Amino acid sequence: MRAEAAPLTLGIETSCDETAVAVLRGQDELLANTVYSQADLHAQYGGVVPEVASRNHVTKLPYLVDDALREAAVSLTDISLVAATYGPGLVGPLLVGLSHGKGIAFGLDIPFLGVNHLEGHIFAHRLHAPESGPPFMALVVSGGHTSLVDVPEYGTYQLVGSTVDDAAGEALDKIGKMIGLAYPAGAEIDRMATEGNPKAIRFPRPMANAPGFDFSFSGLKTSVLYHLRKNPRERHVDIAASVLASVVDILVKKSIEATRRFHRKRLTVVGGVAANSHLRAALTAAGAERGIDVTFPPLKLCTDNAAMIAAVGAYRHFERGESHDLSLRPVASLGFMEMASA
Ligand code: KG4
Ligand code: ZN
């Protein structure tokens, strides 16, 4: 007799400008992970336009669901659970994915679970390294978030620090705009920094030496603006390298300190900025010096995706028995600790 296959979860992510759908078998067998990035659409405006994002999610999402099912070689009726992001993010885009997910769950008469996008980022680590679970410290660093979170076990999170103004990726994107780069600018700044001199300009390291684990990046942006006004001929590669040196210094200092303070042996780094080659090298070296294992899931799991959303859904539903009813609303400013009662 054939053993019963583990249940399938359909994950949906539309909190910002990525439309993403994934199919997960059991807790960590990823069958499909499709992402459509709207970045090119928003590049002409220099940032994400919420209404444009919502409309684009509406047109793309049904096709992405079909693509994901085809890639996973399963049919919609094989799905046992729908998990969709319900916050934090842009309320219009969130509403599109949430409504679509609820519609599928209602139509199939299967359970539905709303997922906190921030918990999703942490689960990128679980998908990447299911065997090396908590405890660990997590640095979630992207265009929307910069947070340090202590994870004693999955499902239990202590927010250790977060940005008091801009996220690190957001600051890089805004600085990129000042030097004429297209949105999002992080990857190009990464590349340019390799050619530039990180010591050319000593930009400030806001809050790097302040007690606690909060971050601030908006002062850095202002310093770059003033520097460019005074030195319009400064080489852009030197600006990129010097800005990145500041961002990397701050992130390394705070995250290594937090990992030590909480007596954790592992630091996992997730979110789009985790792709940064300079941050990866500096954190890996700083971790090695202090006996901390620093891990970065593959890029496809670091940037916004639905695999991580499906993974939270599968864990919360199949391991903890949670689900939401279909009245769950999107929560634009959902915090790390907030989880709608399930
Ligand atoms: O996780 P993500 O795709 O979306 C958000 O939740 O924000 O992260 C996007 C951010 C953007 O700010 C982008 O500029 C940044 O990640 N990013 C990078 C790199 N690749 C993407 N920042 C620095 N270096 C990179 N290589
Ligand atoms: Zn994100």
Pairing outcome for strands 146-153 and 156-162: antiparallel
The pTM of the full predicted model, rounded to 2 decimals, is 0.93
pLDDT digits (tens, 9 = 90+) for 248-279: 999 999 999 999 999 999 999 999 999 999 99
Helix and strand numbers, DSSP H then E, in the chain: 11, 10
Within a 13 Å sphere around the CA of 287, how many CA atoms are in the beta-carbon half?
23
pLDDT digits (tens, 9 = 90+) for 201-213: 999 998 888 899 9
Separation of alpha carbons 173 and 184, rounded Å: 5
- Report which residue type is found at 162: S
Separation of alpha carbons 208 and 321, rounded Å: 42
Letter string b/e over residues 241-267, b meaning 16 or more CB atoms within 10 A of that residue's CB: bbbbbbbbebbbbbbbbbbeebebebb
- Ligand nearest to the CA of residue 270, numbered in listed order: 1
Residue 1 above 50 pLDDT? no
Kindly give, in sequence order, each residue whose CB lies less than 8 Å from that of residue 24, ignoring residues fewer than 6 positions away. 8, 9, 11, 30, 31, 307, 310, 311, 314
Which protein residue's CA is at the shortest distance from atom 10 of ligand 1?
Answer: 143
Separation of alpha carbons 187 and 169, rounded Å: 10
SS3 82: strand
Separation of alpha carbons 255 and 235, rounded Å: 30
- Report which residue type is found at 15: S
Q: What average pLDDT does this structure show over 86-97? A: 96
Residue of 162, 172, 302 to mutate, ligand 1, most atoms within 8 A of C-beta: 172
Cβ 276 under 6 angstroms from ligand 1: yes
Kindly give, in sequence order, each residue whose CB lies less than 8 Å from that of residue 327, ignoring residues fewer than 6 positions away. none
The residue that leads in pLDDT, 74 or 53, is 74
Residue 270 Cα to ligand 2 midpoint, Å, equals 9
pLDDT digits (tens, 9 = 90+) for 117-145: 999 999 999 999 999 999 999 999 999 99
Residue 309 above 80 pLDDT? yes
